Every structure is written in C-alpha cells, then in structure tokens.
Amino acid sequence: MSAALPSQPAIAETVAALRAIVRGYRAAGETVALVPTMGALHEGHLQLVREGRKRADRAIATIFVNPTQFGPNEDFARYPRDRDGDLAKLASAGASAVFLPTVETMYPSGFATTVSVAGLTEGLCGAYRPGHFAGVATVVTKLLMQALPDVALFGEKDYQQLQVIRRFVRDLDIPVEIQGVPTIREADGLALSSRNAYLTPAERAVAPLLHALLDEIAEKLQAGQDAAPLLEAGMGRLGEAGFGPVQYLAFVDADTLQPMGRADRPGRLLVAAYLGKTRLIDNIAVPPRGA
Ligand code: AMP
C-alpha cells in the first residue's frame, strides 16, 4: 500500500488570485491562518503552518524575500531560495495555499508608504539594522491586508519582530489575531534558521553556545543575580569562543523591550552575534524570580 501524497497547495502569484482563494474559503464558512515567510523553509516555519492548522480551517503560507528589510550590506542577493523544495514541505505540513508575490507586485512603481513603529524598534536589532523593522512592518501590514486572515503566526525566534508586529496591529486596528510560536531548535539547542546554511562545519560546531549561554544566564538571573555582570561575562565568553562582533547580549522587559537589572518581572534575554560571515540571533524567556 502506498501512503497518500499530501495534496498540493494552491498557488497565488497576484493579490487578486490570493483574494480569490481566501474568498473561496470564506464562502465555505472556513477560517484562515496566515504564515508569512521568506522561504528556504525549515521545521520552524512548518511548525507555524501546523499551529495555523490548529487555529484555523486553512493555513496559507507566503514566501517573499522582502528587499526593503535588508540593509545595503546585508545578504538579500545571496539569501537562500528553494521554491520547489518549499512547496513540497508546505504540502506535507498541510498548507492549503501559498502566496508567492513578485517584488513588483508588492512594491509597484510609485510605492511611497512605510509603516514604522517608534520605541520598540530603536534598540537591539533595530540599532544595528536601520530601516529593517520599517521594512518588516510595511510588508507584514501589506500581507495582512491582502489576505485578511483570522490569525497570523510568527516565531518567537524573531522576538523583537513579534513585539513590533503586535504593536502596529494594535495601533492600526488591523482585525487579525497575532499568535507567537515558540522557537524550534536542533537537538543541540541551535535555533533553526535559514541562515544556518551559511555556517561552515567548524562554525556549526560552535553555534550552539549561543543558546547554552542564554540558558546559563537565565538560571543565574532567576537565582537573583544582577544582569549587568552576567551580560558582560557572557559577551566575553562569546568572544573567546570565536563569535564577533557580538552586537548585543541584553536582558529586557518582555513587553516593552526596555533594559532590566533583575528578574523581577517577565523578561527576555536576547543575543545577536556574528559567527564568521553569518549573523545569528536567539532569545529565551526569563520568568520572574520565584515564578
Ligand atoms: P523568515 O523566513 O526567517 O522571515 O521567518 C518566517 C517566520 O518563521 C517568522 O515568523 C520567524 O520568526 C519564524 N521562524 C524562523 N525560525 C524559526 C524557528 N526556529 N522556530 C520558530 N519559528 C521560526
């Protein structure tokens, strides 16, 4: 007996085609989850699709390598792209449809509007990637307005991004529920990322330190230690292990992303560091002491 092949998702390349697909689902009384991605899909992305399936009748994935969220010296041109592989993975995860817009579809000639979120975007990655979060906020706003799903799912892997999305969705009264999904990791703790493909074998062997260090610092914060010396020592450890530059290792309020000195309320520990030519980020929750 052969296993049934998963059914192929419908493909939309224009906004009109995407809306026609969503209209069909709505006409059948079905709810819709949206999973925006940049492709080069891995288990982390597929987990978002599976969570979407739990929360709605239909999951639609979008694949768009968004040029406006990359800086001039970043990896837009060499960002991994694998359309056929992605479509096969999305079929197996149960996506009903995939939106694959072109750059011209998303940013037609004369495009002049930007969504930018103050405050939340100034520190952490925002300090090192000027314009990045405006690029993300603008493209995610467009995707939400194009599909008008019931729920959209985003990974906690990009924690600052998730907080920024929650903020503008609330501020602009976009009628979509935003659902965060915990980070999917390799067995050794490394957070799955499309950019892990850039790592050399030697770098890949060192990379799990990022998560191990976050765990170690979180434990000490929860034991009541002050953040500042732990973060300073942590930066040193990363440098010694071959990371560099280490852009930040920070302990912040889980909602406002403002720096915190002690684990006296829900916090988040975040890191961004280069390993060779690859920029890696990771973060974990630090529940308040005694929680
Ligand atoms: P990207 O394709 O990198 O833009 O990511 C698309 C979505 O997948 C974002 O919401 C990410 O936060 C999420 N994502 C990426 N890596 C992971 C992971 N390891 N675990 C869970 N979600 C992830």
Q: Give tens-digit pLDDT for 23-46.
A: 999 999 999 999 999 999 999 999
**What is the pLDDT averaged over residues 61-69?**
98
Nearest CA to ligand 1 atom 12: 155
Q: Using alpha carbons, select from 2, 9, 86 the residue that is nearest to residue 53.
A: 9
Cβ of residue 183 lying under 6 Å from some atom of ligand 1: yes
* Closest Cα to atom 13 of ligand 1: 155
Mean pLDDT across the stretch 106-127?
A: 98
Main-chain phi, psi angles of 115, to 5 degrees: -100, 120
Which of 88, 99, 94 is closest to 140 using CA atoms?
99
Distance CA 75, CA 260 (A): 32
Task: Quote the pLDDT of residue 1.
Answer: 44
State yes or no: pLDDT of 220 exceeds 70. yes
**Residues near 58 by beta carbon (within 8 Å), at least 6 away in sequence:** 25, 30, 31, 32, 33, 96, 97
Task: Please state the pTM of the whole predicted model.
Answer: 0.97
Instruction: Please tell me if the CB atom of residue 21 comes closer than 6 angstroms to any atom of ligand 1.
Output: no
pLDDT, tens digit, 9 for 90 and up, residues 205-215? 999 999 999 99
Candidates 28, 94, 6; CA nearest to 55 is: 94
What mean pLDDT is predicted for residues 129-155? Answer: 98
